[in-house]
C-alpha cells in the first residue's frame, strides 16, 4: 500500500483530469486506469470560476481521493489562496503545490514552492509538491514535513520521459516520504522505469488524455506501473558489457 499522510492507496497511478476530448472518454479512462486519486486544476473548476464547466460531470467521485493542484499560481501567495478555495469547496483531500516559474518549460519555482508548502503545512493540509528533479530541493521540502514529493521526469506535457534517471535515483535514495514521479511521462515504458527506479507512484495526464485512444492508454499505464513496481521489488540483473550465455554451453558434449 502507498501511504500519503493519513491516506492509503492500493493503486500507485494518479491520473490528471482535463484535456480529454469528451467527459465520457475521461470517465472511461479513469475507470480503466483503476486510479484512486484524481488531480485537477482548481482554477479550471467552477468552484473557482462559475463560467467553467464541471470537469467531473457524470462521475461518481466516491471512491476517489481528490488532489487539486494550484496550477496557474506564480507565487506562493497565489498557490495558498487557490488551496484554501479548494478546501472551502470541500474538494481537497490533499493539495498539490504547483508554482510555475517559467512559461516555456512550466518548470516549478523552487523558492515559491518551498514557501507555499510551508504555509499549507502549517494550515494542516496534506501537501504534495511538484518540483524539478533538484535533489537538494527535494530534501528541503522533506525537512518542512511535506507528505510526498513529486519530482518531474521532464517538463509537463512534453512526453520526454525520464531525462535524468540519476537525479531521480538520488531523490528516491534519500527520500523519507513517498516519491511520486510527476510530469513528462510519455509512454508505458517511462511509467515502468520510474517505478523500477524505486518511485512510490506516478502521476500523469497528457500521456493518457493526449493518446489516440486514451482509454487503452490508461489501461497500459496501469499495467506499466504494476510491472515497474514488481520489477523493482524483484531486483533486476546487473548490466554487463560482455555477453553472458543464457543457454550456457559449458560442460556440453561436443558435436
| Residues annotated within a binding site | 157, 183-184, 205-206
DSSP for residue 237: P
239 is catalytic: no
Contact predicate 4/178, CB 8 Å = yes
| Nearest CB to a copy of itself, comparing residues 90 and 254 | 254
SS3 249: coil
| Nearest CB to a copy of itself, comparing residues 54 and 62 | 54
| Nearest CB to a copy of itself, comparing residues 3 and 213 | 213
What is the nearest approach in angstroms of a copy of itself to the Cβ of residue 64?
A: 17
Q: What is the C-alpha to C-alpha distance for residues 183 and 177, in angstroms, rounded to an integer?
A: 19
CA 242 to chain centre: 37
Q: What is the C-alpha to C-alpha distance for residues 163 and 140, in angstroms, rounded to an integer?
A: 22
What is the nearest approach in angstroms of a copy of itself to the Cβ of residue 50?
A: 9
Q: What is the C-alpha to C-alpha distance for residues 189 and 12, in angstroms, rounded to an integer?
A: 15
What is the nearest approach in angstroms of a copy of itself to the Cβ of residue 108?
A: 7
- The residue to which cell 478546501 is assigned: 87
| Nearest CB to a copy of itself, comparing residues 62 and 236 | 236
What is the nearest approach in angstroms of a copy of itself to the Cβ of residue 107?
A: 5
Kindly name the residue from 27, 96, 115, 229 that is annotated as catalytic: 96
Q: Which residues are annotated as a binding site for 1-deoxy-D-xylulose 5-phosphate?
A: 157, 183-184, 205-206
SS3 168: helix
From residue 224, alpha-carbon distances to 163, 187, 227, 237 in Å are 18, 9, 5, 19
Residues taking part in catalysis = 96
Amino acid at each position: 500500500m502507498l501511504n500519503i499522510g493519513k491516506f492509503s492507496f492500493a493503486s500507485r497511478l494518479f491520473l490528471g483530469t482535463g484535456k480529454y476530448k469528451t467527459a465520457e472518454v475521461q470517465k472511461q479512462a479513469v475507470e480503466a486506469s483503476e486510479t484512486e486519486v484524481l488531480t485537477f486544476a482548481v482554477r479550471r473548476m467552477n468552484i473557482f470560476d462559475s463560467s467553467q464547466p464541471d470537469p467531473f460531470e457524470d462521475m461518481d467521485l466516491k471512491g476517489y481521493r481528490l488532489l487539486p493542484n494550484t496550477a496557474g499560481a506564480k507565487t506562493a501567495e497565489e498557490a495558498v489562496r487557490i488551496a484554501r478555495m479548494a478546501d472551502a469547496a470541500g474538494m481537497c483531500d490533499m493539495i498539490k503545490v504547483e508554482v510555475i516559474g517559467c512559461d516555456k518549460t512550466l518548470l516549478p519555482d523552487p523558492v515559491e514552492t518551498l514557501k507555499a508548502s510551508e504555509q499549507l503545512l502549517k494550515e494542516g493540509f496534506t501537501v504534495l509538491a511538484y518540483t524539478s528533479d533538484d535533489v537538494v530541493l527535494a530534501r528541503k521540502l522533506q525537512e518542512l514535513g511535506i507528505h510526498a514529493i513529486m519530482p518531474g521526469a521532464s517538463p509537463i506535457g512534453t512526453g520526454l520521459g525520464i531525462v535524468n534517471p540519476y537525479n531521480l535515483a538520488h531523490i528516491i535514495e534519500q527520500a523519507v516520504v513517498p516519491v511520486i514521479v510527476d510530469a513528462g511521462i510519455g509512454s508505458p515504458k517511462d511509467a515502468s522505469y520510474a517505478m523500477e527506479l524505486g518511485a512510490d507512484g506516478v502521476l500523469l495526464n497528457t500521456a493518457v488524455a493526449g493518446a489516440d485512444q486514451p482509454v487503452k492508454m490508461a489501461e497500459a499505464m496501469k499495467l506499466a506501473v504494476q510491472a515497474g513496481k514488481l520489477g523493482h521489488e524483484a531486483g533486476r540483473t546487473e548490466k554487463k558489457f560482455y555477453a553472458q550465455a543464457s543457454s550456457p554451453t559449458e560442460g556440453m558434449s561436443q558435436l
